[in-house]
Structure 1
Amino acid sequence: MHFPRPFAISGPTLWLPERRESASQAVRQGRLDSETAGELGHDALPVADQAPPELAVAAGRRALEAAGLDGRSVGLLLHAWIHYQGHDLWSPAHYIADRLEADSATPVGVQQVCNGGAAAVELAAARLLAEPELGIALVTTADRFADPGFDRWSGDYGIGYGDGATALLLHDTDRHPAGLLLHSIATVAAPQLERMHRGDDPFGPVPRSVSERVDIRRTKKAYLRAEGMERFGKASAEALRQVVTSCLSAPALAGTGARLRYVVPPRLGRKTVDMAYAPVLGEVDGAELLRVGRDTGHLGAGDLAASLAELRSGRLLAPGEYALLVSAGAGFTWSGVLVGSAD
């Protein structure tokens, strides 16, 4: 989806708790072997004591303050997550809106697993195109991968899970100064891969009735026994190429002097990025593969916004430069997001 004019991204924020759990500590406790620790490439992962919606409120408040705005200016609030938010049959998006005093906003929860943050940005852009009177959309994400229900180090293959929250504001460029400009979003799904996170497990009547812990390794093993790795690898590479090709066809990159400075993969383990993302993203001529997340791990639905925050805070894009960020989530769904410097 190329936009007739770019949207502004203001106040992109990454909020991380202060506490860390080191990889060496996980190895000493027998939760992680040293070889896998090296493949993940994380010295430590952030660990939160607060519930995810509380983290999202902190991130949202910081994003609004950075933009010089308050909750009353928000017309749409979308919150994305992948893991338990602290209550059953409850809307965290409404909690976040209430705590931010976004009383005029429509709160919406977005469940597209790890691609949820990108999906929320895409939905926000579509709503703003259809209803410009909404004004400003706030997108938040937050997750906490706490014991005993989730092992952040060994609950999955090639991914270490970090706690944290993100937030960003999306709006028309005439409404407020922008930090970054959103030019294009492309999304591709391969629903035939949903079994990778279901495996051979029966449907359970309540959460974690099949397994006391979220065990993604178990379900992936079952999928690979039945389908093999080749099918997933082929689908992933094809989807990545489709989202990259779509984003690179955006009119913004046809401009004089336009330069794609970075391609940015999700915040997955080092070996996973090397195997699943670097080969395809390395095909983009002239762009540097920007590796992110060594100090955060995978942030659930928050990888995209976290990388946008780091692009902005580090002022990594000069005028006329662009970055293509890739997001992916179980199901499977891949998104590509093209942004440029607003300076």
Structure 2
Amino acid sequence: MRLPSPLGISAPSVWLPAGRQSSEEAVARELVDAETAEELGYDRLPVADLAPPEMAVEAGRHALATAGVDAAAVGLVMHAWIHYQGHDLWSPAHFVADGIGARDAVPVGVQQVCNGGAAAVELAAARLFVEPELGHALITTADAFVEPGFDRWSGDYGIAYGDGATALVLHHLPRTESETGTTPGTTPGTGAGAAGATGGGRPADLVLHALSTVAAPSLERMHRGDDPFSPAARSLGPRVDIRRTKKAFLQAEGMEAFTGASAAALRSAVGDCLAAAGDVALRYVVAPRLGRKTVDLAYAPELTKLTGAELLRPGADTGHLGAGDAAASLADLHSRRLLGPGEYALVVSAGAGFTWSCLLVSGT
């Protein structure tokens, strides 16, 4: 969807724990075989010593401080995750809101698996337009893929999982007295976010112009397989075993059932987002933080053909960050100063279910 007017993204941030496990160490400890480690292409993975919601609080505090936003100005806190957050029948979103001091905000949890961070941006954007008085939305993600319940190196095909949190502030941009906002193709500095703008928002680090989301619900069995519905988590075994469920799906449906639906959905998501944006030239397209072989086979050919943009492959030092891939890519675009004023990037996110999202952003 094309937004009624662009929104600002301020202080996109990644918070990673100090601990690291290199691929060499993982191979030496027989956590993954050398061939698989090479195909994954990750140098090292961050290993948490905090619970995921605690990491989200750290990321959220950093984002607010960096953006110069008081917690009292946050009207909405959205927290996304894919794996256990530390307590049963409990709301980590409320913990994050309380921990950052946003005690008047409405906390909302988003459970759309690995696409949760992108889904939270989309939901928060809609809420900001429906309720302009909402102020700022803080979006966090956090996951820890620790033993004994998760095998970060070998529990899945084509992906290894890193621990960490992300955060960003989503908000309206300033309006000039004569303009209602930028549109794609307009150079930042001449519309929303321009110097000397008056009221209605705040300057941003990145500008969000359009979003798109496409789902393929027929693929949900990839993470269910032949397993029966069970009364509690991990009733069928001591660890999350994504390989088991994917293997069952592929034996029943065949690889083409996945690759065909996946490619079609990815093309649709990219096409919808670029069509909503209008005539823009992309400098970068950013792949999800999946393993190198997975990106080579499932993403690189399609994204290069569809966009003609330079493909960025982040994540060698983070692994797949669960629901945080999209926000982490936004943080990279900002912290590495990859986008100049008026330059565009398309950030791609994907998650089980399956769902694909694209976020079109520009530099300021």
TM-score, L = length of structure 1: 0.97
SS at the partner of 1:219?
helix
Q: Deviations over 1:254-300 (max 9, x none)?
A: 2xxx4300011100000000011011101134310011000000000
Question: Which residues of 2 match residues 5-154 of structure 1 at below 5 A?
Answer: 5-154=5-154
Question: Which residues of 2 match residues 243-254 of structure 1 at below 5 A?
Answer: 243-251=269-277, 253-254=278-279
- Does 1:207 pair with 2:229? no
- Which residue of the partner structure matches residue 223 of structure 2? 197
- Which residue of the partner structure matches residue 349 of structure 2? 327
- Which residue of the partner structure matches residue 286 of structure 1? 308
Q: Deviations over 1:207-240 (max 9, x none)?
A: 1001210000000000000001101101110011
Letter in 2 for 1:137: A
SS at the partner of 1:250?
helix
Asked whether the equivalents of residues 285 and 307 of structure 2 are also in contact (C-alpha less than 8 Å), the reply is no
Q: Deviations over 1:137-195 (max 9, x none)?
A: 00000000000100100000010100000000001002211000001110011111100
- Work out the CA distance in 1 between the residues paired with 2:229 and 2:307: 45
Letter in 2 for 1:207: A
- Does 1:216 pair with 2:238? no
- Does 1:227 pair with 2:249? no
Offset at 1:250? 3.0
Asked whether the equivalents of residues 14 and 59 of structure 2 are also in contact (C-alpha less than 8 Å), the reply is yes
SS at the partner of 1:315?
coil
- Which residue of the partner structure matches residue 213 of structure 2? 187
- Which residue of the partner structure matches residue 203 of structure 2? 177
SS at the partner of 2:359?
strand
- Work out the CA distance in 2 between the residues paired with 1:212 and 1:19: 24
- Work out the CA distance in 1 between the residues paired with 2:348 and 2:285: 8
SS at the partner of 1:8?
strand
- Work out the CA distance in 2 between the residues paired with 1:232 and 1:89: 33
Letter in 1 for 2:224: R
Offset at 1:69? 1.3
Gaps of 5+ in 2: 175-200
SS at the partner of 1:284?
helix
SS at the partner of 1:224?
helix
Hey, which bits of structure 1, 4+ residues long, moved more than 4 A?
Answer: none
- Work out the CA distance in 2 between the residues paired with 1:70 and 1:61: 10
SS at the partner of 2:53?
helix
SS at the partner of 2:306?
coil
SS at the partner of 1:11?
strand
Q: Deviations over 1:82-120 (max 9, x none)?
A: 000000000000001001110110000000000000000
SS at the partner of 1:282?
helix
One of 318, 328, 332 as aligned partner of 1:296 = 318
SS at the partner of 1:115?
helix
Letter in 1 for 2:362: G
Letter in 1 for 2:328: A
Gaps of 5+ in 1: none
- Work out the CA distance in 2 between the residues paired with 1:18 and 1:285: 36
SS at the partner of 1:325?
strand
- Work out the CA distance in 2 between the residues paired with 1:243 and 1:337: 10
Letter in 2 for 1:119: A
- Work out the CA distance in 1 between the residues paired with 2:272 and 2:308: 17
Q: Deviations over 1:301-327 (max 9, x none)?
A: 000000000100111001121000110
- Matched residues, percent identical? 69
- Does 1:166 pair with 2:166? yes
- Which residue of the partner structure matches residue 182 of structure 2? none
Asked whether the equivalents of residues 259 and 320 of structure 1 are also in contact (C-alpha less than 8 Å), the reply is no
SS at the partner of 1:283?
helix
- Work out the CA distance in 2 between the residues paired with 1:6 and 1:265: 23
Number of residue-to-residue matches in the alignment? 338
- Which residue of the partner structure matches residue 328 of structure 2? 306
SS at the partner of 2:123?
helix
- Work out the CA distance in 2 between the residues paired with 1:189 and 1:285: 20
SS at the partner of 2:32?
coil
Pairwise CA RMSD of aligned residues? 0.9
- Which residue of the partner structure matches residue 197 of structure 2? none
- Work out the CA distance in 1 between the residues paired with 2:72 and 2:263: 43
Q: Deviations over 1:8-58 (max 9, x none)?
A: 000100111111011111111212100000000012100011000000000
- Work out the CA distance in 1 between the residues paired with 2:306 and 2:299: 12
